[in-house]
Amino acid sequence: MAGMMRGALLWASQNNWLREHAARYKFVRHSVERFMPGEQIADAIAAASSLEGRGLDTVLTHLGENVSTAAEAESVTGHYLDTLSQVRAAGLKSELSVKLTHLGLDLSHELCQANVEKLIQAAVASSIIWIDMESSSYVDATLDLYRNLRKKYSNVGVCLQAYLLRTAEDLAALLPMGPAIRLVKGAYLEAASVAFARKADVDENFFALSTKLLSKEARAGGVRTVIATHDLNLIHRIETLARGENLTGADFQFVMLYGIQRAEQLRLARDGWRSGVLISYGTFWFPWYMRRLAERPANVGFVIKNLLGG
Ligand SMILES: Cc1cc2nc3c(=O)[nH]c(=O)nc-3n(C[C@H](O)[C@H](O)[C@H](O)COP(=O)(O)OP(=O)(O)OC[C@H]3O[C@@H](n4cnc5c(N)ncnc54)[C@H](O)[C@@H]3O)c2cc1C
């Protein structure tokens, strides 16, 4: 039943008609507020300022994907350049996380790479531009582009998804570059031919990949690791692993999504780990919101509560 619900929500995330119509309903808009501070940059900056004040790191992402013209991709790039200026003006340390299809990957790899380079060059050297991982058909292009960028810049990172069967090999191929890797479980609807179907297998792969990322050899090679999960069991296993390796808060970072497991985000920071929050904002939130509902179908209950509550 939960699997069917997940499938239906991920199908809805790809449906343009629903995106245009459902997003207009007040109860849907109201439900999404739990996961994002607002649609404007100012909302994201205010949330980042409050979270950094509580000892958490922040990462900002402007919602959107699959633009269809070069002008749109350039406008998104311009928006992110402005965001970087606003982050600096507000005295914040927020990093950015971007989707390559939002920066023109479907149109031209060269155009997309040029857009990402503008962001990398505009960010301070210690601030990483994170590249999200999208559905499996984009993995090759994303990793090719990442490799090109990593050869030229140190402040660029990429997301890897533990649900993909290929990820262990992808990680092994990237490690010699000293990459910055954000490890997630994966949020898209994928076929059993490319992704683990059982949650237990995804979780074990996540732990095995974390072990590789946090190993002495990887750290000596300059790998920077972000563990991006809300899974308390995995977080506790990774904390135990890290303590066993004598790691400290400086060695890696936990990051979660805005509005999810806030108490755990703060607990990790209190216990001396680096703990961060990814803050999404913007008007193009429908597909992203459907993926958040699919991660925990119980969230659909909040939507229904908002519908009944008006
Ligand atoms: C910082 C960050 C960046 C990400 N970037 C990407 C990316 O680039 N590409 C990509 O494919 N995916 C990305 N994701 C999403 C990720 O792939 C998962 O879909 C998402 O994190 C849920 O998986 P989980 O690891 O939390 O584990 P799960 O097993 O799904 O969840 C563990 C527990 O966390 C809580 N939880 C999880 N999700 C929710 C939710 N939506 N609402 C309420 N509670 C929830 C529940 O208590 C659940 O039992 C990112 C996630 C994070 C945190």
Distance CA 271, CA 131 (A): 28
- CA-nearest residue for atom 36, ligand 1, is 230
User: Is the shortest distance between the CB of 132 and ligand 1 below 6 Å?
Assistant: yes
Please indicate, yes or no, if residue 3 is contained in any of the structural domains.
no
Return the CATH number at 131.
Answer: 3.20.20.220
Helices (H) and strands (E) in the chain, counts: 14, 8
Please indicate, yes or no, if residue 47 is contained in any of the structural domains.
yes
Residue 13 — very low, low, confident or very high, per pLDDT cuts 50/70/90? confident
Residue 147 designated active-site: no
Distance CA 28, CA 4 (A): 21
User: Is the shortest distance between the CB of 230 and ligand 1 below 6 Å?
Assistant: yes
- CA-nearest residue for atom 41, ligand 1, is 292
Helix axes 286-295 and 2-13, enclosed angle (nearest 10): 170
- Model pLDDT, residue 14: 79
Q: For the segment 176-219, what is each residue's pLDDT rounded down to a tens digit?
A: 999 999 999 999 989 999 999 999 999 999 999 999 999 999 99
- Model pLDDT, residue 1: 65
Please indicate, yes or no, if residue 215 is contained in any of the structural domains.
yes
Sign of CA dihedral 186, 187, 188, 190: positive
Report the pLDDT averaged over residues 8-31.
Answer: 72
Report the half-sphere exposure of 303 (CA within 13 A, side-chain side). 18
Q: How many domains does the chain have?
A: 1
Contact 92, 45 (CB under 8 A): yes
Question: 89 C-alpha to center of ligand 1: Å?
Answer: 31
Please indicate, yes or no, if residue 53 is contained in any of the structural domains.
yes
Please indicate, yes or no, if residue 28 is contained in any of the structural domains.
no
Residue 132 designated active-site: yes
Please indicate, yes or no, if residue 245 is contained in any of the structural domains.
yes
Please indicate, yes or no, if residue 150 is contained in any of the structural domains.
yes
**Three-class secondary structure of residue 273 per DSSP:** coil
- CA-nearest residue for atom 45, ligand 1, is 296
The DSSP output letter for 100 is G
User: Is the shortest distance between the CB of 183 and ligand 1 below 6 Å?
Assistant: no
- Model pLDDT, residue 310: 46
Q: For the segment 109-150, what is each residue's pLDDT rounded down to a tens digit?
A: 999 999 999 999 999 888 999 999 999 999 999 999 999 999
Residue % of the chain over a pLDDT of 90: 76
**Could you tell me the residue range of the domain that residue 92 belongs to?**
37-284
- Model pLDDT, residue 280: 94
Catalytic residue among 132, 170, 203, 231: 132
Quote the pTM value. 0.92
